[in-house]
Structure 1
Amino acid sequence: MKKNIAIIAGGDSSEIVVSLKSAEGLYSFIDKEKYNVYIALVKKDEWVVKLAENEYSLIDKNDFSFLQNGKKVQVDFAYITIHGTPGEDGRLQGYFDLIGLPYSSCSLLTSAITFNKFVCNNYLKNFGVRVADSIRLFAGEQMTEEAIVQRLGLPVFIKPNDGGSSFGVTKVKTESQIRPAIAKAFAEGKEVIIEKYMEGTEVTCGCYKTKKGKEVVFPLTEVVTENEFFDFDAKYNGQSDEITPARLPEALTKKIQQQTSRIYDLLGAKGLIRVDYIILADNEPYMLEVNTVPGMTVASFIPQQVRAAGLDIQEVMSDLIENELN
């Protein structure tokens, strides 16, 4: 009997547009011969499953079931692809833990840690992972432009501490740009992180592991853009070149892959994660952030890396699902 798989999309942030694209990608990747696949839209005031074009069924929040043709459908596995809250910060994971529904991504604790860039970076820094120097600001907290520049120099990146997909991110080159950039970041989140600028080659690496001891670390993707940084247009509107595998020496590639595997274990991750890095002129990789709900559109990094590794994306999806069901 086929298991029922729900791809969980939506969310309550600006990243909903990316989430919906990822849901479409995942729907195309998951084996329909093996599973019944549905897309569920989860927003603050609406939890529904899409049955057909313009046809939806309400989700029963007691057990995440829904009705189809008058019959109750019980979901067996949730593939979370909400970028931002509540799918990437641990809230949905906690709910699924409470009702006993297996899901794709990291645990509540790991998701909460990685969603908060400042907390995650400083946690991993304790284990020798190189990260950018940074400052965290809470709403209402004041810090002078002079103090920020004295601590981090210029340029700096100012962005939401609890968001992604480059919403609310500004590369700041002058003191006069600091206040507007902080306000822009606060419009997208409750905390702001100000990071020291690092110039180098940006790469990203996907990874997953299973309970049976299988470890898959994908080829690296190199990101090249003429934009000021890897912003929303660079990510989703074709304003970048994404080269997989990255044009790096083999030894450096292996070093970053090993670092990715180590970060996976240090965080107690599960499911599929992606770690972003910048390689400085001395060939040292610095971690930028950990993404526990990576984008899964057809053009996203992970599908690119799966193809470059010579793997079948459908088999990878089955691997991730079966790991949690068995």
Structure 2
Amino acid sequence: MSAPRVAVLAGGLSHERDVSLRSGRRVAESLRARGCEVLLLDADAHLLPRLAQEAPDVVWPVLHGAVGEDGALRDVLELLGLRFVGSGPAACRLAWDKAVAASVVAAAGVAVPGEVALPHATFRDLGAHPVLAAAAGWAGLPLVVKPARGGSALGVSVVRDERDLPRAVAECFAYGDTALVQRHVAGTEVAVSVLELDGRVRVLPAVEVVADGGQYGYEARYTAGSAEFFAPARLPEPVARRVAEAARAAHEALGLRHLSRVDLVVREDGEPVFLEANAAPGTTETSLLPQAVLAAGLDLDAVYRGLVDTALG
């Protein structure tokens, strides 16, 4: 059997371009090590002509931010009749909007934080001060402000003093036009990767994240030594099973496929609380998916080749 030709898409024009380039290079290296012929392509105006010219067997979008995770690019790949690794357009749209994703996952029986989505227009029409006062009074302190759509913790703030709330919302709007205000959930932060290989869903061991300063922000995610990881997470076995069940329930409720990463907080009582799901999890040297693969005793190169074979099959 000839080696599959795989077009790995990386880069794009989102705030997460640099992370995407690093992720794409890692995936390309792994696939080459497993015998694939790999094209590493940027998501720009030259992409579609290149795909038509190269005619890859499968495309792997390793793109973070809107260009890779809001479903639009995957719509185009389907229009072109190209197979691709990862979730379809509809599932990406669900996961990309954190408020919508939380509603879907809650309906599947998984706990979610109390939250409210506030578009920029709401502040303009009703006045920033009364809206912020209402949000703070409802959520209590501390609370979390984050873009309703986005990744890599860009624009995310934990607000412990109400005087810091206007600044947090302003920073959030630098990355999107809707602010998600959440009740803060205290507990152990974990990330659970879900893979579909050999015709079955496999939930990998949870990875526990302990970030410097207590917040797993952009720098902590992509700067070596800025966070401590425990893979598998330091959870009692019954709690670890509940976390795995919650991650699988979220993956399936959102209609994700092939691979995903589900982020949760485990409360002191052992209840996992869903934060968000990632349809295009990072694959850099500090990313959580590769750590989970290794914690499961799997070969990373083999897993990536297996995902390509799954998409082809």
What TM bracket, shorter-length normalisation? over 0.9
1:141 counterpart SS class:
helix
Mapped to 2, the partners of 1:282 and 1:119 lie a distance apart of: 26
Q: Read off the aligned partner of 2:211 and give its amino acid letter.
A: T
Residue 49 of structure 2 is matched in structure 1 by: 60
Identify the residue that residue 3 of structure 2 maps to in structure 1: 2
Aligned residues: 305
Deviation (angstroms), 1:33 = 5.0
Asked if the contact 2:86/2:279 (under 8 Å) is kept, the reply is yes
CA contact (8 A) 1:12 1:85 kept: no
**TM-score normalized by structure 2?**
0.93
> What SS class does the counterpart of residue 227 from structure 1 fall into?
helix
Q: Deviations over 1:105-142 (max 9, x none)?
A: 11111000100001100111122210111110112212
Specify the SS of the correspondent of 1:230: coil
Aligned position for 2:173: 186
Is 1:310 aligned to 2:311, yes or no? no
With CA pairs under 8 Å and 6+ residues apart, which has the higher RCO, 1 or 2? 2
**Is residue 2:110 matched to residue 1:132?**
no
Cα distance in 2 for partners of 1:324, 1:86 equals: 20
The match for 2:269 is: 282
The residue type equivalent to 2:19 in the other structure is V
Give structure 2 stretches of 5+ with no counterpart.
Answer: 124-129
- 1:220 — aligned with what? 206
Query: Is 1:252 matched up with 2:239?
Result: yes
**What is the CA–CA distance in structure 1 between the aligned matches of 2:181 and 2:24, rounded to whole Å?**
31
Q: What do residues 173-212 of structure 1 show as CA deviations (whole Å, max 9, x unaligned)?
A: 22222222112111111221111111111111101124x5
Which structure features the higher share of helix residues? 2
Deviation at 1:226, TM superposition (A): 2.7
TM-fit CA distance, 1:217? 1.2
Q: Distance in 2 between matches of 1:139 and 1:230?
A: 25
C-alpha separation in 2, matches of 1:221 and 1:32? 26
Q: Which blocks of at least 5 consecutive residues in structure 1 are unaligned?
A: 49-58, 67-72
Counterpart secondary structure, 1:82: coil
1:15 matches 2:16: yes
Most deviating of 172-181 and 88-97: 172-181
Structure-2 separation of matches of 1:172 and 1:160:
14
Could you tell me the TM-score, scaled by structure 1's length? 0.89
Correspondence 1:78 to 2:62: no
**Shift in Å, 1:13:** 1.7
Shift of 1:65: 2.6
Give me the identity figure in percent.
30
- Note the aligned Cα RMSD (angstroms): 1.5
Q: Which runs of 4+ in 1 moved over 6 A?
A: none
Matching residue of 1:232? 218
User: 1:308, 1:187 → 2: CA distance?
Assistant: 36
Whether the 8 Å CA contact 1:11–1:85 is kept in 2: the answer is: no
Q: Go from structure 1 to structure 2 and tell me whether the alpha carbon gap of 1:200 and 1:33 turns closer, same or farther (over 3 Å shift).
A: closer
Give deviations 1:243-299, integer Å, cap 9, x for gaps.
Answer: 101111111111111222222221221111011110111111101110110000133
| 1:299 alignment partner in structure 2 | 286
Tell me, yes or no, if the aligned pair for 2:251 and 2:277 is still in contact at 8 Å.
no
Normalized per residue, the structure richer in strand is 1
Question: 1:199 aligns to what SS in structure 2?
Answer: coil
